[in-house]
Amino acid sequence: MASKLEALTHWVNEVAALTRPAEVHWCDGSDAEYQALLQQMLQAGTLIELNQQTHPGCYLHRSDPSDVARVEHLTFVCPPRQEDAGPNNHWMDPAEAHAKIDALFDGCMEGRTMYVVPYCMGPIDSPLARCGVEITDSPYVVANMRIMTRMGAAAQARIEREGLLPDGAFVKGLHSTGELDPERRFIMHFPEELTIKSYGSGYGGNALLGKKCHALRIASHQARSEGWLAEHMLIVGISNPQGDTHYIAAAFPSACGKTNLAMLIPPEGYRQDGWKVWTVGDDICWMRPGADGRLYAINPEAGFFGVAPGTSESTNPNALKSISRDTIFTNVAVTADNQPWWEGLPGTPVTDWQGRAYDPANGPAAHPNSRFTVSARQCPTWSDQAEAPQGVPISAIVFGGRRPSLLPLVMEARDWSHGVLMGAAMGSETTAAATGAVGVLRRDPMAMKPFCGYHYGDYFAHWLSFDQPGASLPKVFHVNWFRKGADGKFLWPGFGDNLRVLEWMIARVEGRVAGTETPIGILPAHAGTGPGELNLDGVRLGQEQLDALLAVDLDRWQEELAAIGEYLETFGTRLPPRLRQEQQRVARALNEASGQPRRAAVAS
């Protein structure tokens, strides 16, 4: 049987024959290699040195103006049967997809260096981690992959070791920036082959193949077959004054506050009392049942690829501290003294994200989806448990999104089935992280709509399958930091004060508060229905605002459940009957509570 190294070498030779590079470089992940890549890009003008006094080791990359976000309409999942991709994915016959994209790869690296990038998603010695190799002609991609993954010699050694990975498999990713032509741009996934092919984009989500492509689309397929979960979730640890730590995994669509929550700073009163917050991950979470029946999670990434706009001293000082050195910025503006700038920061930009003299008539100085790439270890709240091979035990799973009305500040699912329904029904206003209209409400189950590598009906069934005898599953919650009052302003202060909601969740996990039963879930008891369970000391929040945040409008919720039922029906015969039954149960509970039975378009 051929060794892993022989299999890898054979594939690299095949790709080189197709793409015809001037040379092939096998990446070792060393500091010297990284510095050489930076110098190469500086000399080529594809990287710009920023102010080394204020931001040592920081650089700016400007992408093509047509290449600034994920391109979901050009992203395909290609199992042999279209029905296995599901209505949640764009599908192409795998033979057709290979032929179409291989024609683009033909000779595309002539005159360029082909980089071979072995990487590990997760701690090198973790049984939960999985490896891959990305072949790319972009030094920018290589530099970012070094920050975002455990890249280089150690990852290659793990790939070569016999018996460590299931079937000795590693994910193969082939990438070329091509001509950066939007008409010649595709991101293809072949789950059964553990293969990714990406052409024509240099943007992170399309080009850093270890991230969304591997760690979510391909890994979700792996996870289903191997009995674990690959999710678009942050992982945060909350330590109380007694020193007990609970880990929470939370799913939000991009640019909905994931990084802020992952790096949360407790309110002053909480800090004085001894509460601490630990950052394990800000974007992706892999969870596997442990021997004790609990779910244990790792962050497969080693860095943050964060959205810059909205990151400021007032919103996320920990992120700001993290990116003060050794960071690659993409599509931000710069100030007169060559510091990175985006809306929300003090100072004045002189050059916008396209390198033009800043003119407000051209739009924001920094692109709304401009990014920073930085090692997670630079975060002041980084937890060394992020390197724990066994992962961290998850006490609670949280779903959320941007909903200006209807959804309360927080609600708890009554059981696992109800929690899966909460995740499946998630809706949020769209953001600038993907191409297309912004501010449109769309269903985004578990925040995985752009990332689930197979049929959503099968995905829901996989989630439900974890509810087995002996399982000690996390409690499931849904939050909405973005509910607005009649004046159009946010009702909840958010940011650090979100810890008050997490504290209530932990109290529920520990059985210390009773909550209030409603047809849609368990809400915190508050002044109108009993002793208040949310710690609101120091928060300027009137009773009227609190009542609005926790209000349950039965009539509108009946309409919501009808809409959820219609949405679930789009998954046809693959929708798990248990999920359909759960939707019907909540719809009946709402009808009974309203005292006026009405037609509810429940899934049937």
Task: State the average pLDDT over residues 104-110.
Answer: 98
Among residues 285, 267, 291, 290, the alpha carbon closest in space to that of 277 is found at 267
**Residue 331: pLDDT over 50:** yes
Model confidence over 25-58: pLDDT tens digits? 999 999 999 999 999 999 999 999 999 999 999 9
Q: What's the burial of 180, exposed, middle or buried (CB within 10 Å: 0-12/13-18/19+)?
A: middle
Look up residue 285 and give its amino acid.
Answer: C
Number of residues that this document lists for the chain: 604
Pairing of strands 475-479, 392-400: parallel
Please provide residue 256's backbone torsions phi and psi, each rounded to the nearest 5 degrees: -115, 20
Q: Quick one: pLDDT at residue 526?
A: 81
- Residues 558 and 590 sit within 8 Å (Cβ to Cβ): yes
Q: Quick one: pLDDT at residue 442?
A: 85
**Residue 83: pLDDT over 90:** yes
> What residue numbers does the annotated binding site cover?
70, 203-205, 212, 232, 254-260, 283, 369-371, 402, 495-498
In three-state form (DSSP H/G/I as H, E/B as E, the rest C), the secondary structure along 121-141 is ECCCCCCCCEEEEEEECCHHH
**Residue 255: pLDDT over 80:** no
Cα–Cα separations (whole angstroms), residue 190 to 85, 94, 197, 336: 10, 7, 8, 46
> What residue numbers does the annotated binding site for Mn(2+) cover?
212, 232, 283
Look up residue 501 and give its amino acid.
Answer: V
Give the Cα-Cα-Cα angle 436, 440, 441 (nearest 5 degrees): 130
Please provide residue 3's backbone torsions phi and psi, each rounded to the nearest 5 degrees: -70, 165
Among residues 232, 227, 241, the alpha carbon closest in space to that of 211 is found at 232
DSSP classification of residue 448: -
Cα–Cα separations (whole angstroms), residue 205 to 67, 262, 469: 11, 20, 38
Task: State the average pLDDT over residues 89-98.
Answer: 98
For residues 578 and 421, what is the distance between their CA atoms, to the nearest angstrom?
A: 10
CATH of span 4-51+66-227: 3.40.449.10
Q: Quick one: pLDDT at residue 434?
A: 56
Model confidence over 367-412: pLDDT tens digits? 999 999 999 999 999 999 999 999 999 999 999 999 999 999 999 9
**Residue 598: pLDDT over 50:** no
Q: Quick one: pLDDT at residue 311?
A: 93
Model confidence over 112-130: pLDDT tens digits? 999 999 999 999 999 999 9
Pairing of strands 328-330, 59-61: parallel
For residues 205 and 446, what is the distance between their CA atoms, to the nearest angstrom?
A: 18
Among residues 583, 202, 548, 255, the alpha carbon closest in space to that of 405 is found at 548
For residues 375 and 367, what is the distance between their CA atoms, to the nearest angstrom?
A: 22
Active site residue 256: yes
- Residues 171 and 130 sit within 8 Å (Cβ to Cβ): yes
Cα–Cα separations (whole angstroms), residue 175 to 9, 117, 189, 484, 547: 17, 11, 12, 43, 52
Look up residue 48 and give its amino acid.
Answer: I
Catalytic residue among 108, 120, 213, 256: 256
Give the Cα-Cα-Cα angle 469, 249, 284 (nearest 5 degrees): 115
Grade residue 163 by pLDDT with cuts at 50, 70 and 90. Answer: very low
User: Helix, strand or coil for residue 527?
Assistant: coil
DSSP classification of residue 68: S
Other CB atoms within a 10 A radius of the CB of residue 547 amount to: 14
The rounded radius of gyration (Å) of the Cα atoms in the chain is 24
CATH of span 231-303+383-552: 3.90.228.20
Grade residue 595 by pLDDT with cuts at 50, 70 and 90. Answer: confident
For residues 369 and 435, what is the distance between their CA atoms, to the nearest angstrom?
A: 10
Please give the structure tokens belonging to residue 213: 């492509």
Q: Which residue has tokens 């007169």? A: 336
For residues 297 and 126, what is the distance between their CA atoms, to the nearest angstrom?
A: 11
Residue spans of beta strands (DSSP E) within 191-343: 195-199, 229-231, 233-239, 245-251, 276-281, 285-289, 295-298, 303-307, 328-330, 333-335, 340-341
Q: Quick one: pLDDT at residue 164?
A: 46
Please give the structure tokens belonging to residue 188: 């293809």
Grade residue 603 by pLDDT with cuts at 50, 70 and 90. Answer: very low
Q: Structural domain boundaries of the chain?
A: 4-51+66-227, 231-303+383-552, 555-594
Task: State the average pLDDT over residues 207-236.
Answer: 98
Please give the structure tokens belonging to residue 288: 């596997």
CB neighbour burial string for 447-469, b if at least 16 within 10 angstroms, e if fewer: bbbbbbbbbbbbbbbbbbebeee
Look up residue 81 and give its amino acid.
Answer: R
Please give the structure tokens belonging to residue 287: 């969870």
For residues 213 and 232, what is the distance between their CA atoms, to the nearest angstrom?
A: 12
> What residue numbers does the annotated binding site for substrate cover?
70, 203-205, 254, 369-371
Model confidence over 409-463: pLDDT tens digits? 999 999 999 999 999 999 887 655 555 666 667 899 999 999 999 999 999 999 9
> What residue numbers does the annotated binding site for GTP cover?
255-260, 371, 402, 495-498
Q: Quick one: pLDDT at residue 3?
A: 62
Question: What value does the mean pLDDT of the chain take?
Answer: 94
For residues 586 and 571, what is the distance between their CA atoms, to the nearest angstrom?
A: 19
Among residues 270, 281, 289, the alpha carbon closest in space to that of 305 is found at 281
